[in-house]
């Protein structure tokens, strides 16, 4: 194992020297092992697929231009994180924070209309697990949050409520396991400031009950997969009674970028039988996003005879039963890059099955 590590280090040094001499190919090979985890980091900071991609690209350009200044006193990975973090902080300063509908206003009347979408860039977006880098296992044993936890929708949404500096400190310290000294160097501040920001960030998350030991635990992966399968089957048949039976008493159902959201099985049923009934007859592709079971929904289009992209839906679940606690429907017509970010087909046809998986759809 030590020999392999030495070989990797030697190869990295050779790539670094070649990149410093102006080789873009060597630079691409040098940063490739870190790309997915850096993209996940930018996503946690920004809550947006497109913003994360833009920040990552800008960070990598900055790193390329500054490569001659990298002296190797820290690891290349830590140096790249420093640049990506500060690039993300710059991006935060240029735009409003991203939220979910529950943070925007009170619940809506499920019998009313859906209203107008807020198409400004204020909504958190889902991110496909296969590009998040959560399987890489780079986090230190000191990290407080597991890699899957660190990309869950509720956690990413809570991060967006923190001031930018607290957000960065919390992610670096408790998701990535950076030491206080490393975090201070990354943010060009003092250890005392880092510790103070971390304390305030933890207090905010405590108020949001994210770390409440009494909060419902997540079900096992097997139970979540079974719950997704049951939900998909019920939705494909548009059997509202079966859907309601899978929902917890306080389930939240929302549809970004619509500010509309409803709470509780009865209101979910009323909405799905009312304004949401246009989704009857959809075709569905099972996915995984933000560490959660998810699916893409294609709504039938009478004019073309095809099934067109409608939503990417994430299901949050608790271990009691298990039951669904959140149904988050991100609407594709108002998020142009949403389906493309998952590598989803542009449309489905009559011959495509009602329920499939992403690998089968490809």
Domain ranges of the chain: 1-94, 221-361
Name the nearest CA neighbour of 290 among 130, 171, 64, 138: 130
Which residues have C-beta within 8 Å of that of residue 106, sequence separation ≥ 6? none
Q: Return d(Cα 117, Cα 141) in angstroms, integer.
A: 42
Task: Enumerate residues 6+ apart whose C-beta is below 8 A from 94.
Answer: none
Note if the bond before 322 is cis, omega within 30 degrees. yes
Report the pLDDT averaged over residues 125-137. Answer: 72
- pLDDT tens-place string over residues 199-228: 999 999 888 875 443 344 677 788 889 999
pLDDT of residue 5: 45
Fold annotation for 221-361: Nuclear Transport Factor 2; Chain: A, (3.10.450)
SS3 content of the chain, % helix, strand, coil (to 5): 50, 15, 35
Radius of gyration of the chain (CA): 22
158-207 pLDDT per residue, tens: 999 999 999 999 999 999 999 999 999 999 999 999 999 999 999 998 88
Would you state the CATH architecture of domain 1-94? Orthogonal Bundle (1.10)
Average model confidence (pLDDT) across the chain:
89
- Give the predicted TM-score (pTM) of the model: 0.89
Query: Quick one: 214 exposed, middle or buried, by C-beta within 10 A (0-12, 13-18, 19+)?
Result: exposed
d(CA 46, CA 95): 10
Give the C-alpha separation, 32 to 35, whole Å: 5
């Amino acid at each position: 194992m030590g020999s392999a590590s030495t070989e990797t280090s030697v190869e990295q040094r050779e790539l670094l020297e070649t990149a410093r001499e102006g080789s873009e190919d060597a630079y691409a090979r040098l940063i490739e092992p870190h790309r997915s985890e850096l993209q996940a980091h930018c996503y946690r900071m920004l809550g947006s697929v497109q913003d994360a991609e833009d920040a990552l690209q800008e960070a990598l350009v900055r790193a390329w231009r500054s490569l001659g200044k990298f002296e190797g006193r820290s690891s290349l990975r830590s140096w790249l994180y420093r640049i990506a973090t500060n690039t993300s902080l710059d991006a935060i300063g240029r735009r409003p924070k991203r939220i979910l509908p529950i943070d925007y206003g009170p619940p809506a009347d499920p019998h009313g209309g859906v209203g107008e979408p807020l198409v400004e860039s204020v909504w958190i977006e889902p991110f496909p697990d296969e590009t998040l880098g959560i399987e890489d296992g780079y986090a230190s044993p000191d990290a407080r949050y597991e890699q899957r936890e660190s990309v869950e929708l509720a956690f990413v949404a809570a991060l967006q409520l923190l001031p930018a500096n607290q957000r960065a400190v919390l992610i670096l310290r408790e998701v990535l396991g950076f030491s206080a000294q490393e975090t201070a160097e990354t943010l060009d501040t003092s250890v005392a400031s880092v510790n103070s920001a971390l304390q305030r960030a933890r207090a905010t998350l405590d108020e949001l009950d994210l770390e409440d030991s009494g909060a419902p635990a997540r079900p096992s992966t097997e139970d979540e997969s079974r719950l997704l399968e049951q939900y998909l089957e019920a939705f494909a048949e548009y059997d509202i009674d079966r859907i309601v039976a899978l929902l917890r008493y306080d389930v939240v159902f929302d549809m970004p970028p619509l500010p509309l959201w409803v709470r509780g099985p009865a209101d979910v049923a009323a909405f799905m039988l009312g304004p949401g009934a246009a989704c009857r007859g959809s075709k569905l592709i099972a996915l995984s996003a933000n560490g959660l079971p998810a699916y893409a929904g294609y709504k039938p289009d009478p004019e073309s005879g095809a099934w067109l992209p409608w939503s990417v839906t994430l299901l949050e679940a608790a271990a009691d039963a298990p039951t669904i606690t959140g149904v988050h429907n991100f609407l594709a017509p108002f998020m142009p890059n949403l389906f493309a970010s998952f590598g989803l087909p542009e449309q489905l046809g009559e011959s495509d099955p009602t329920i499939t998986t992403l690998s089968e759809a490809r």
